[in-house]
Amino acid sequence: MHVLVPIKRVIDHNVKVRVKSDGSGVEITGVKMSINPFDEVAMEQAVRLKEQGLATKVTAIACGAAVAQDVLRVALAIGADAAVLMDTGGTPLEPLGTARLLRTFVASEGVDLVLCGKQDIDDDLGATGPMLAALLDWPQAVSVSQLHIDGPQLQVSCDSDCGTELLAMSLPAVLSVDLRLCDPRHITLPAMMRAKKATITQVAAELDHSAPATVRQLHVGEPPARPAGIKLDGLPALIEQLRALPVLQS
């Protein structure tokens, strides 16, 4: 079984994000970048499947500029067998564009299972996985917190509005995983040194520049400041304060 793990380079989750003064985006110059945490969990799960003898190959893939090689080397240090960079030359990608590039790779490389993060922590979107599944016409599951593989059959637990759902599906499939699926391993120094010497395959991405953009960014700004809290004298005052909230007014 060949497992593909798409990963994305994002601002490190410990960094406080700053908005550019012109409102065109967030500041990334001199900012620490790292692998998207949800994608790191997907990579860890893929490597565990290989260690259990359920997967024969794990490939990490990133769609973006050449600087994304650093997160690909993190994936190699975790245990990926191969890393591929689909170089877009710095052209920003929408989820649909990324899904189309991944579909091309899946079709050419004989991928059996795609494990991707449930969402990205930079734009908070989680559309790439479902879009890829639709393009491939493969079964999919979103927000996967447990995974069991028995031959060509998958059993997954997914979060839903009604609680936790247990789903059964067959390979090939696309799974968007949650952080609770597993804990990423600590990367050792020898593993990181081996990853630095590993070869990353670079492929020029074939972008469809004729396709119209479906999303247009208008402005980026700081979230509104939270109002200062107030101190109330006892439970009756709290109840009156809650009853006065606009949401409770008829």
pLDDT at 91: 77
pLDDT at 209: 61
Q: Are 144 and 156 in contact (CB under 8 A)?
A: yes
pLDDT of residue 211 exceeding 80, the answer is: no
The average pLDDT across 179-205 equals 91
The average pLDDT across 164-180 equals 92
pLDDT at 192: 93
pLDDT of residue 24 exceeding 90, the answer is: no
Rg (CA), the chain: 21
E strand or H helix at 245, and its extent?
none
Q: Which two tokens stand for residue 202?
A: 């670079």
Going by C-beta distance under 8 Å and a sequence separation of 6 or more, which residues neighbour residue 207? 88, 91, 97, 101
Q: Are 55 and 34 in contact (CB under 8 A)?
A: no
pLDDT of residue 40 exceeding 90, the answer is: yes
Q: What single-letter DSSP state applies at residue 181?
A: G
- Rounded to whole angstroms, the Cα distance separating 122 from 115 reads 19
Q: Give the HSE-up count for residue 12: Cα atoms under 13 Å, Cβ half-sphere.
A: 10
Q: Which two tokens stand for residue 156?
A: 């997954």
- Convert the pLDDT of each residue in 131-155 to its tens digit: 999 999 999 999 999 999 988 889 9
Q: Which two tokens stand for residue 208?
A: 């469809």
pLDDT of residue 250 exceeding 70, the answer is: no
Domains and CATH numbers, the chain: 2-248 (3.40.50.620)
Tell me whether strands 153-160 and 140-150 are parallel, antiparallel or unpaired: antiparallel
- Convert the pLDDT of each residue in 153-171 to its tens digit: 899 999 888 888 999 999 9
- Convert the pLDDT of each residue in 60-85 to its tens digit: 999 988 889 999 999 999 999 999 99
- Rounded to whole angstroms, the Cα distance separating 124 from 118 reads 9
SS3 call for 204: strand
pLDDT at 97: 87
The more confidently predicted of residues 175 and 97 is 175
pLDDT at 28: 84
Place of tokens 């260690």: 51
Whole-Å CA distances, 178 to 39, 102, 123, 173, 227: 9, 20, 16, 16, 32
SS3 call for 229: coil
For the chain, the average pLDDT equals: 90
Q: Is 84 left (phi over 0), alpha (psi -120 to 50) or beta?
A: beta
pLDDT at 230: 86
What are the φ and ψ backbone dihedral angles of 223, each rounded to 5 degrees? -65, 155
pLDDT of residue 90 exceeding 80, the answer is: no
Task: Please say whether the dihedral angle defined by the alpha carbons of residues 17, 64, 185 and 118, taken in this order, is positive or negative.
Answer: positive
* Residue 246 confidence class, pLDDT cut points 50, 70, 90: confident
pLDDT over 90 for what percent of the chain? Answer: 58
pTM: 0.84
